[in-house]
A and B are shown apart, each in its own frame.
Chain A
Amino acid sequence: MHKIIAATQIASDVRWLKIDAPLVARACQAGQFVIVRLDDNGERIPLTIAGTDPARGCIDLVIKAIGKTTIALCQLGAGDLIRDVAGPLGKPTEIVAGKHAAVVGGGVGAAVILPIAAALKQASSRVIALTGGHTRDAVLLEIELSRVCDRVIACTDDGSYGFSGTVADCLRDLIAGGDRLDIVYTAGPVPMMRAIAELTRPHAIRTIASLNPIMVDGTGMCGGCRVSVGGQVRFACVDGPEFDAHAVDFGELSERLSAYRSQEQLALRRWNDEHGRLCTRP
């Protein structure tokens, strides 16, 4: 059992949980994730570790309420317990020292790029962060990113805040404006990561995408998280979750992510029925 130390709502459907997990906090590096199981009948879901506090033995998880399990997680508050937290899993991010880097996050992807940005800064790289969402409420972690980045640009698709347009539009403008980038790290919805990859490809800017395939055990045992990278099959949990974005088959990833859509809808309907339809949003 892992106790929730603190819980904060950071958008209407996004919750920040601080969880007691001392062994994970001690070992974690940027880019790694945990597998979380909420209760005895729960599924195992991978969640990126957004931050750690080894001294207090805590890890941070930023969770968007999408399906049954994430909605239930977002209902939890300080003092509540999570059944299982295993990690840190996956390979740590390869951090470049003394370079010009951009970290690009869409929605809760901001939680993935936050520890990467901090590690890059620690390694004396210059870091520009782009954090985007459809509207102002969906732009996450701007303040947290600003603490560890040289510059943060918030982007909204509807123009309600910051840069008007997607993070890809914003990155295009940066590159067009002559900003020299050695490397781009990106995390977020698949179409967004694909757009970033297509944008940096003609400029031959090295681009790393943190992938989010369906996963069960997280230790390589099941092979469910397989992704095609440069024509090779790789397991996101042991070979990734970060890969060369120019080599990833995003179409296949997107297709595989849809495999359980009807079951996910069924589980959500049942959960809503049991909880009086109050909880499509926390």
Chain B
Amino acid sequence: MTLKERMKIARQQMPQRPAEVRAADFDEVNLGFDLRLAQLEAQRCLECKDAPCIAGCPVRLDVPAFLTHLASADLRGAADVLLRDNALPAITGRVCPQEEQCEQVCVRGKGHGCPVAIGHLERFVADWARDSGAATPTQRPAPSGFRVAVVGAGPAGLTAAGELARRGHGVAVFEALHAPGGVLRYGIPEFRLPKAIIDAEVRRLEDWGVEVIPNVVIGRTLTIDELLTQRGFHAVFIANGAGLPVFMNLPGENLKGVYSANEFLTRINLMGAWRFPECDTPVVTARRAVVVGGGNTAMDAVRTARRLGAAEATLVYRRSRTEMPARIEEIAHAEEEGIVFRLLCNPVRILGDEAGWVRGIECVRMELGEPDDSGRRRPVVVPGSEFTIDCELVVEAIGTRANPLLTTTTPDLKLNPRGYIVVDDAGMTSKPGVFAGGDIARGAATVILAMGDGKRAAAAIDAWLRKG
């Protein structure tokens, strides 16, 4: 195919279910490419020599090689490249903010062009590899004799586990909850990332020899020191996540019907509360729901509230749409599903009824002032602009802070002033042989950045072990 022919192909659209249908259930919104669409889209790649997309990817996926195989319908070859660089491609293909990473730097996206839909293609090939069994490794590497403990079965921990297992190390992943996946399982709803995908990706890691041990809370059930001195591990990778939810400290915050996004989403995603009473865990549902925040978690929470039956599901965010940290696709999907956006609004008080339940949220209007430390224009209160949104459910999705549970029982781990674990460029902590990554080292970030940390730390752990 000539360059000119490639340039003529328009970006293929991801097929998705109609908004009015999907807003009433938890089935996946995006339907995925078929082979024809995938091949066509892959042919749009110009196979640039300097391939900026590779550097744009936190796990350094060899995008051009992957797309070259796919463009010629060599799915096996594409899957081999994909799985070599990315331990969880069916997940990243669904939840990565590609528009800020690989696709942002894609040469096809320069000027008024559209970048190659790398994320959608990653998803297509990963799903094919899973369904066809091509992802199952044929042989295991020779055992190195080293054992590594991974704390937390989220994106950083699972990625590190996969990388370490492929290098022949014995890997045990300790998970505090009863099922692996971390934020992928408790945080991201079924309609964006089906649990079956997580299960399949974890099974593939287990095929590589990774052992996942649920219900073990490192820092309580076992300490880091016990892992190293009594349990026969030669190194540890800590990836236990961000942890504690941040609340706004508003009056009325402890009323019934006020949740952190973590609790609301955990009840639904991890515990299946959307199927109550078939599942035992309940969740408060409401005709009118308000979610506070502008990130992907806020989008997930408000779209979930909608699916649980909220006729009015409102998102309250204190800045404007331009500053919203959520992915463009998620914002678009939320709007299509009828979510009401109250931008430049900030809650000041949650109102309750005499039975202790939420009955509304009082907000003030904001306007954007001078840029603050984050470079974004600082929202400033418009005096006297108070107004109330009536609602029976409030979810605060404004972020998390460091979980102290592991760090307080491992006093020799150096922390930064905000309680996150300090690591060097290789991911090593102040404790020899103990590495850390993901949210507990960098603060709340994305799935793919956590995976990048896991990959980097696995390489560093491998080097550290072999050095002796």
Residues of A that sit less than 8 Å from B by CB? 23-24, 27, 32, 37, 41-44, 68-69, 83-89, 216-217, 219-224, 226, 228, 233, 235, 238, 252, 255-256, 258-260, 263-264, 266-267, 270
With contacts defined as CB atoms under 8 Å apart, how many contacts are there between chain A and chain B in the complex? 118
Question: CB of B404 within 8 A of chain A?
Answer: yes
A259 pairs with B243, CB closer than 8 A: no
CB closest residue in chain B, given A235: B244
Tell me the bound Cα distance from A219 to B247 in angstroms: 17
Q: Are B271 and A216 in contact (CB under 8 A)?
A: yes
Task: Tell me, yes or no, whether B266 is within 8 Å of chain A by CB.
Answer: yes
User: How far is B228's CA from A119's CA once the two chains are assembled, in angstroms?
Assistant: 29
Closest to A2 in B: B215
Classify the secondary structure of B's interface with A. loop
Residues in chain A near residue B221, CB distance under 8 A? 23-24, 27, 86-88
For B186, what are the chain A residues with a Cβ–Cβ distance below 8 Å? 217, 221
- The answer to whether A216 and B217 have CB atoms under 8 Å apart is no
Contacts of A86 in B (CB 8 A): 176-178, 214-217, 221
Cα A31 to Cα B455 in complex, Å, equals: 39
Chain A binder among B30-38, B106-114, B255-263, B330-338: B255-263
| Chain B contacts to A: CB under 8 angstroms | 176-178, 186, 214-217, 220-222, 241, 243-245, 247, 249, 253-254, 256-257, 259-260, 262-263, 266-267, 271-272, 276-282, 284, 356, 403-405
Give the residues in chain A near B254, CB-CB below 8 Å: 226, 228, 233, 252, 256
A220 contacts B217, CB within 8 Å? no
**Is B278 within 8 A of A222, CB to CB?**
no
Q: How far is the CA of A233 from the CA of B396 in the complex (A)?
A: 15
Give chain A residues whose Cβ lies under 8 Å from the Cβ of B253.
233
Which of chain B's residues have a CB closer than 8 A to the CB of A42? 280
Residue of A nearest to B244 (CB): A220
> How far apart are B35's CB and chain A's nearest CB, in angstroms?
36
Q: By the criterion CB–CB under 8 Å, are B356 and A255 in contact?
A: yes
CA distance A83 to B177 in the complex (A): 12
Which 10 pairs between the two chains have the least Cβ-Cβ distance? A263-B282, A222-B263, A86-B215, A43-B280, A255-B356, A223-B245, A223-B260, A259-B256, A84-B178, A43-B281
Whether A23 pairs with B216 at a CB distance below 8 angstroms is yes
Q: Name the CB-closest residue of B to A39.
A: B280
Shortest Cβ gap from A152 to chain B (Å): 31
Most B CB within 10 A of own CB, among A42, A217, A235, A267:
A217
Contacts of A264 in B (CB 8 A): 282
Instruction: Tell me how far the C-beta of A260 lies from the nearest C-beta in chain B, rounded to whole angstroms.
Output: 5
Which residues of the other chain, A, contact B279 by a CB distance below 8 angstroms?
41, 43
Q: Could you tell me the distance in whole angstroms from the C-beta of A67 to the nearest C-beta in chain B?
A: 9
Q: A221-B266, A223-B262, A258-B256 given. 17 additional CB < 8 A pairs?
A: A42-B280, A86-B178, A86-B214, A86-B221, A88-B220, A89-B220, A217-B176, A217-B177, A220-B243, A220-B405, A221-B241, A221-B243, A221-B262, A223-B245, A226-B254, A255-B356, A256-B254
